[in-house]
Amino acid sequence: MLAPYPQLVRAGYRRHASYWQASLGGVTANVVFGLLRGAILIAVLAQRGSVAGYDTAVAVTYVWLGQGLIGVVLLWGDTELSQRIRTGDVVIDLSRPWNLQAAMLATDLGRAGHAIGARLLPPMAFGALFFPLRWPEHPITWILIAAAVPLAVTVSFSIRFLLNASAFWLLDARGALAVWGATSGVLGGLVLPLSWYPSWARAVLAWTPFPALFQFPIDVFTERGDAFTLITKQLVWAALLLAAGQVVLARGTRRLVVQGG
């Protein structure tokens, strides 16, 4: 039964490999925002020298890795499941001999794999060319980041899956997805480092899966905090959210009514 999933990973990779022009456009947007966000952080650090452990090198690494991760972790534009629920096409997906959530996760990991080359490396290369990035000091960090990024993708996927699955009840998941798209960046540590936030905000966010999306993988790469703790937290959130997705999928499937003869 394991057979279809590796195939789906490959299919997800190939599906996105054919849209290189779109990748180029996305990278352009990431680079523009990298320059702007980087300028703000550098302006702050020009006055303070270091804020919450961020000096200029860590800050620009934070910015460029974050900009690269946007396309990999994926916050915006994943509406496929909710649209298939609305049109009823989801019945076809549900009747295939696979677990729908696992199949979609496999496809999404394949997509993310392609995005590492197409969306993560170009902004990082741009950043490395024009800014003094801070590279990992310990070789093991490269192995740890190779675990933290797929886990960030899995957490992001499982949240997107839950939001899309709300269409089983609401028929239209657009509002929920729009709110997620608007807030996930700022809650996940993409817009500004979470350690710059007031302590009450940090305390609240520590109980949410959002830091697992951007802040944790970036912290692993910049060697801030204990990488094993961060990855364990990511693992726990991924497991919890995937399990919640299974429950919601089972409930939603029972509710599903398809019109037609």
Partner 1 sequence: MAELPPVESSPRHRSVYPRILASRLRSQLAYPGSFALDVVAQIIGQAIELLGILVVFTQVRSLGGFSSTEVVLMYGLAATAFGLAILCVEQIEKLPEYVRTGQFDVMLLRPLSTLAQLLTADLALKRLGRVGTGLAVLGWSLTTLQLDWTPVRALVAATAPLVGAVILAALFVAANTVSFWLIDGQEAANSVTYGSNFATSYPITVYGPWLRRLMCFVLPGAFVAYFPALALLGRPDPLGLPDALRYSPPLVAALTVALTTLIWRAGVRHYQGTGS
Is 205 a binding residue for partner 1 by CB under 8 A? The answer is no
What does DSSP assign to residue 51? B
Is 18 a binding residue for partner 1 by CB under 8 A? The answer is no
User: Nearest distance from residue 183's CB to partner 1, in Å?
Assistant: 6
Note whether 50 and 149 are within 8 A (CB). Answer: no
HEC readout, 93-140: HHCCCCCHHHHHHHHHHHHHHHHHHHHHHHHHHHHHHHCCCCCCCCCH
> Distance (Å, rounded) from C-alpha 37 to C-alpha 127?
12
Q: Which of residues 139-198 bind partner 1 (CB under 8 A)?
A: 172, 174-176, 178-179, 181-183, 185-186, 191-192, 196-198
Is 206 a binding residue for partner 1 by CB under 8 A? The answer is no
Q: Pick the closer one to partner 1 by CB: 198 or 260.
A: 198
> Distance (Å, rounded) from C-alpha 106 to C-alpha 119?
19
User: Nearest distance from residue 201's CB to partner 1, in Å?
Assistant: 8
Is 15 a binding residue for partner 1 by CB under 8 A? The answer is no
Is 132 a binding residue for partner 1 by CB under 8 A? The answer is no
Strand partners, 54: 51
Is 21 a binding residue for partner 1 by CB under 8 A? The answer is yes
Q: Alpha helix locations (H) across the chain?
A: 4-17, 20-48, 56-73, 80-87, 90-94, 100-115, 121-130, 140-165, 167-170, 174-188, 199-205, 215-221, 227-255
User: Nearest distance from residue 174's CB to partner 1, in Å?
Assistant: 7
Among 3, 43, 92, 258, binds partner 1 (CB under 8 A): 43
Q: Pick the closer one to partner 1 by CB: 109 or 190.
A: 190
112: which residues sit within 8 A by CB, 6+ positions away? 72, 73, 74, 149, 150, 153
Choose one: 32-40, 149-157, 220-228, 247-255; the region binding partner 1 (CB under 8 A): 32-40
**Interface contacts to partner 1, rule CB under 8 A:** 19, 21-22, 24-26, 28-29, 31-33, 35-37, 39-40, 43-44, 47-48, 51-52, 172, 174-176, 178-179, 181-183, 185-186, 191-192, 196-198
